[in-house]
Structure 1
Amino acid sequence: MKKILFILSIFISSFSFSQMITSNLQKKMLALGETDKFVIIIKYLNGEKVSAARENELLPFHFEEIKDSISAGEDFYERTIEFAVFEEGKFTIPELEFKAGNQIMKTPAYEIEVVNTAKKEDVINDIMNNKDVELGMEDYWELYKFYILVAIAVIALIIAIIIILKWGRKPKSSPKITSNLTLKELDGLKKKKFIENGDFRSFYVELIDISRRFITTQYHVPAEVLLTDDLIDAMKQNNTISPENEKIVEEVFLRGDLVKFAKTFPDQETMQKDFSDIKTVVERSTKDLEFENLRKDV
């Protein structure tokens, strides 16, 4: 009986001191621009360091973060975020991940409704009666000069573009030059030591930016303006890109999106593999283009 009580007490004590996460949203209905507060608290850390999205990067883009403060100690972690929303509608704070040691904890999702408190039937009374004022040429110029200057600038820009396209020389470029320039950019990213320092967000942002520029130039796919899902579809419809390169780009870009919205925390091994895979895509892209040219000739 004593052994059972001893084992039970150990189990209860270990359970009571395990890491625990709680969160609290102050208000779930807001007026446009009204400030709300979101608090996350993690207890019983026992010296474990907490990893999460960096300050002012935790909430989705609909939420305008005003203040993001973190306080931490040996046994606790507290994060308080003040934010506002400037669009009407219903918005969701998704499940947010926090990693302490080897344990990953998540907050529940919260739905917030944002309403416009101004009513259509509200009457605005003028302080004094309107007066008719006669305007001269100078007055009209002061009122509309900005629009006139913008119109002139746009017309001049269109003329300049037409001249460049018609008579300007196209810069010399080749698939090999594009690959070499991109490899230099990747070496520059490597020297920033984002992988060694565990700065996975900065690493994936720069890696994907470099990859998008490369795909746009090398394969003539508008990767810099397409969302990830649309880019994947565009690559599958492009006969130039090999299936191996398509698969690598798809995996790295999807992982980058998860990192951007704090839904995953890749380790150094994963980041190093993604870097090496993208470098491989760049190096063998010239073979893709050579094969495509040969196919066209046949």
Structure 2
Amino acid sequence: MKSNFLYVVLFLGFTLSLSAQNPVTSSVDSTKIKIGSAFDLTIKTQTSEGDKVVFPDVKNIGPFEVIESSAIDTVLENRKMELIKKYTLTQFDSGKYTVPRLSILVNGKNYQTNLFDVEVTNVKVDTLKQKMYDIKSNMGSTTDTSSLIYYIIVLILCIVVGFAVYWFIKKQQSKNLTEDDLFKTPLERVSKKLQLLDGKRLIMNGDIKSYYSEITDITREYIEEVFEIPAKESTTSDLIKLLLQAVKTKKIKLSKEIIHDLKRVLETADLVKFAKSEPSYNEIENDRKKTETISISIDKALPKFAEEQSERVRLRERRYRKRKQMRTWIPIGVSALLLLITGGVYLFNSVKDGLEIDFFQSNKRLLKGEWVSSEYGFPGIVIETPEVLNRLELPNTTKKNKEENTAQFVYANAKTNLSITVHTTATQTDENTNAEDLMNQKLKMTEQILNAKDFKSDSEKFTLEGINGVRSSGTFEAVNPLSGKNELMQFEMYLFIQKNGIQEVAIMYNQGDEYGAKIAQRIVESIQLSVQTNE
């Protein structure tokens, strides 16, 4: 089926519309200019008030560059309307060029401007006074990154936002922490409180009773937290008994020396608080070191498995992990979401602007991409297309076709449902060769092979570069072999007959495809025919 479709589109062709009463006139203010000079192409339309007229919006007209496109000037007289559009054109290479026909749409109907031959002459250079230099080699160009820099800045901002969210959450968490939650572990809490106690300089101020009172409170609170015994309310002897019992029950390997040192520090504190004992400075310093050693030894001996730890310690660690997860994953999630949105916007804009991704191919990308101008077949047809057409050898080519030197070239895009075809035949024609009859045969063959429904077409004669031709355009509904779907298709077929050859060009695209229609218009405007002589 796909081969049949490609065979059919070989018979499709363009025309340039000319009607009996053409409302479009065109003129140029000069047919000879110097290199780099400019001339004006003026197009006028005679229409009624309320008619819709569309002028082409192009950057190049054939071989000429459009350096200025003026606003449309409107003249109203007796309910008649004259629209005037001017294009200022230039060319930077000498030679003889032709301003091609342009398509002007009046109420949806296509009218064509005239062809104009313009000669571009060289500027004389005084080589006696002006030094001449060798032409420099081409400098490598760089990709346009004007928009890419903004995306890089946004990516950096996404990461910065993540860090900002992290510090905000951490700051909010710090405001609502309990005394337990201020420290990661019980040992960290003991070490910090002992450092704060040293900073009070109670010993230097002679307040030994307060010093021992605080150091024992720190130790008792630590023991109560990790062993789950009432250490703060117990006497020294009761605390030691409860500690020994807890060590035995939980099978904690705590040395007797540590328990003895703990008992010694607590008893010294009791003597200071209740018997007004005054230990020496060396004894006080020794008790301070023992307190820290006792805390570290207990921490090392304690079980590290959650189910064996005290409930208070488990809750502390659970809250710590939860806070850590919040200030880690929420910032990462925020940054990831922003990065995803940025990437989505970048991908969308890239596809919209014509990024060449096969999955996202579109006729808009083809229209805005770099076009190729080439000559096909014999007699040759020079056209400009989005992609190079490939020569096609059909399996059912007849001996007669081979003798007549038939050449066929096609571009078919299954992603965008666009096909472009060129078909040339070098053969002798005579006065009896009727272009309209030949076009009708091709239309009927197209309708039959595609099994098309609602096949509608409109044909008209015209002349291009002195060669007679027929243009046919229309719509139909059929299963598109390229996509396998039942689709409404639109086609434009052009057929040219000269004495020693037949030239055909065709375009097919989805009905209502704005960019497919623009591609067809641009191809039509680029057509140049080679005239085959008897030689």
The structure where strand makes up a greater share of residues is 2
Q: TM-score, normalised by structure 2?
A: 0.24
**Structure showing greater Rg:** 2
The structure where helix makes up a greater share of residues is 1
